[in-house]
């Protein structure tokens, strides 16, 4: 339990902060019918950071990079403000999508001349599991300020979101308030995406708001439902990711998908005038889904076994499988010479001593970092690796990760299973970038 809290508590608190403000903003987004505005604003902010890299601002966590991001968010807020009129000939959602596509294309062109590709990958996937308490505190302060501003001007924001015609009729400066809304919204998204990634932030924005609108028309009830659902799904999703050793972001998103599906079915049955007929339709839908799933499963297995699938050699190193296949009682001095001297994995397995293996893995970090990391992780999994080698290996990995994993070199790998799970998560996250 202590290990779980040390690793997952900061991501959990960060998710709760995101749920708190994004549920409210998501209700506005759904009422304004601009569902994809957060993706577009996030991409605009990312473009600002990417252009900052072009000018030499390589530290994307620096204040200068944040200023570039916020500056471009201002431009995005101005664009979305000017494209909203009383008589729209072109839907604003189409303009939002077009802005997203253009800014994404420009960002891709820029990263070809810079080292900004890793930043774009971070924008998509985030780094929720590696969020620090300092970042959590910064987000809490910023979200509190933005939330206070929205609470202070809530009547204007709600009127413009729910009934823009009435707002125009009352001669409210809709353009000014729209700009203020989109700017605060863009700053919120920029901060959230930096940690949680585009996909998870989009779900945090939309999913609780959909649940809230399904339940009630009253804003207070909507917020209560959204916050409660968001908290429960976050707890369940992060806990399952820990227990099942799966990536947290996709699992939380999948949990939201299940909750939304169940909520939609319940709402359909409850609001139907003929509930038994509605239940029968739900049953038929479940049966049809099961049939399709069985067909896909059976068809997939058939195609995989057929000549149509082809066969491609898997060249990726599975760190656990290497030592699982290695006979533990055989001394390393008796290891056979590798059949392929140019194969680093074969040379690694045939090394005379564990210290030679460590030296080979460390040397690979400069030429093939992914393979070098895999080999170091492999050594940590092996009970035959001396504690001194395990200590050096874990120090190298922790230096590259910028954090500690709690691995005790003096204990056997089986006693370090939680730390090894954290190391594998980091290694997998590193590869995905």
Query: Is 89 found in the same domain as 39?
Result: yes
Considering the chain, what is the average pLDDT of its residues? 80
Lowest mean pLDDT among 61-70, 178-187, 251-260: 61-70
pLDDT above 90 coverage of the chain, percent: 3
Q: Give the per-residue pLDDT at 314.
A: 41
What is the residue range of 190's domain?
A: 2-271
Query: Is 114 found in the same domain as 28?
Result: yes
Query: Is 262 found in the same domain as 284?
Result: no
Residue 244 belongs to some domain of the structure: yes
The count of domains in the chain is 3
Query: Is 10 found in the same domain as 60?
Result: yes
pLDDT at 144 over 60: yes
pLDDT at 393 over 80: yes
Query: Is 296 found in the same domain as 266?
Result: no
Q: What is the mean pLDDT of residues 12-29?
A: 88
CATH number, domain at 59? 1.10.3470.10
Residue 85 belongs to some domain of the structure: yes
Residue 314 belongs to some domain of the structure: no
Q: Give the per-residue pLDDT at 287.
A: 92
Residue 311 belongs to some domain of the structure: no
Looking at per-residue pLDDT, the higher value among 421 and 111 belongs to 421
Residue 394 belongs to some domain of the structure: yes
| Confidence class for position 154, pLDDT limits 50, 70, 90 | confident
pTM for the complete prediction? 0.64
- At 316-348, the pLDDT tens digits run 444 444 444 444 333 434 444 444 456 777 777
CA pair distance 391, 251, nearest whole angstrom: 33
Query: Is 262 found in the same domain as 146?
Result: yes
Residue 312 belongs to some domain of the structure: no
SS (H, E, C) 264-329: HHHHHHHHCCCHHHHHHHHHHHHHHHHHHHHHHHHHHHHHHHCHHHCCCCCCCCCHHHHHHHCCCC
Looking at per-residue pLDDT, the higher value among 305 and 262 belongs to 262
Residue 157 belongs to some domain of the structure: yes
Query: Is 215 found in the same domain as 279?
Result: no
Query: Is 354 found in the same domain as 279?
Result: no
Query: Is 295 found in the same domain as 357?
Result: no
Q: Give the per-residue pLDDT at 379.
A: 86
Query: Is 279 found in the same domain as 369?
Result: no
């Amino acid at each position: 339990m202590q290990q779980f809290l040390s690793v997952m508590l900061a991501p959990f608190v960060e998710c709760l902060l995101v749920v708190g403000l994004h549920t409210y903003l998501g209700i506005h987004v759904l009422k304004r019918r601009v569902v994809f505005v957060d993706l577009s604003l996030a991409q605009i902010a990312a473009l600002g950071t990417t252009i900052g890299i072009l000018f030499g601002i390589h530290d994307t966590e620096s204040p200068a990079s944040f200023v570039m991001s916020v500056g471009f968010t201002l431009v995005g807020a101005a664009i979305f403000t000017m494209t909203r009129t009383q008589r729209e000939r072109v839907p604003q959602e189409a303009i939002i999508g077009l802005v997203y596509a253009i800014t994404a294309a420009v960002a891709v062109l820029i990263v070809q001349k810079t080292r900004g590709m890793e930043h774009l990958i971070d924008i998509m996937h985030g780094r929720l599991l590696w969020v620090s308490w300092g970042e959590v505190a910064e987000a809490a302060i910023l979200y509190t300020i933005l939330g206070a501003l929205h609470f202070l001007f809530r009547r204007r924001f709600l009127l413009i979101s729910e009934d823009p015609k009435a707002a125009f009729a009352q001669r409210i400066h809709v353009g000014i308030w729209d700009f203020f809304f989109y700017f605060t919204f863009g700053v919120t998204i920029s901060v959230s995406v930096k940690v949680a990634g585009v996909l998870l932030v989009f779900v945090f924005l939309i999913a609780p708001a959909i649940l809230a609108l399904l339940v009630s028309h009253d804003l207070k009830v909507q917020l209560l439902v959204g916050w409660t659902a968001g908290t429960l799904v976050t707890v369940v999703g992060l806990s399952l990711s820990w227990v099942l050793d799966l990536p947290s972001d996709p699992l939380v998103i999948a949990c939201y998908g299940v909750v939304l599906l169940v909520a939609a079915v319940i709402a359909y049955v409850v609001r139907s005038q003929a509930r038994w007929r509605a239940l029968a339709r739900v049953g038929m839908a479940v049966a049809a889904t099961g049939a399709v799933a069985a067909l896909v499963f059976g068809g997939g297995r058939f195609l995989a076994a057929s000549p149509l699938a082809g066969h491609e050699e898997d060249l990726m190193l599975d760190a656990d499988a290497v030592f699982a296949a290695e006979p533990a009682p055989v001394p390393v001095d008796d290891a056979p010479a590798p059949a392929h001297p140019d194969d680093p994995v074969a040379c690694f397995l045939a090394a005379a001593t564990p210290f030679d293996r460590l030296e080979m893995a460390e040397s690979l970090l400069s030429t093939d970092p992914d393979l070098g990391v895999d080999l170091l992780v492999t050594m940590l999994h092996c009970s035959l690796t001396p504690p001194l080698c395990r200590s050096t290996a874990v120090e190298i990995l922790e230096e590259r990760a910028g954090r500690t994993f709690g691995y005790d070199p003096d204990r056997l790998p089986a006693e370090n299973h939680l730390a090894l799970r954290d190391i594998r998560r980091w290694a997998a996250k590193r590869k995905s970038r």
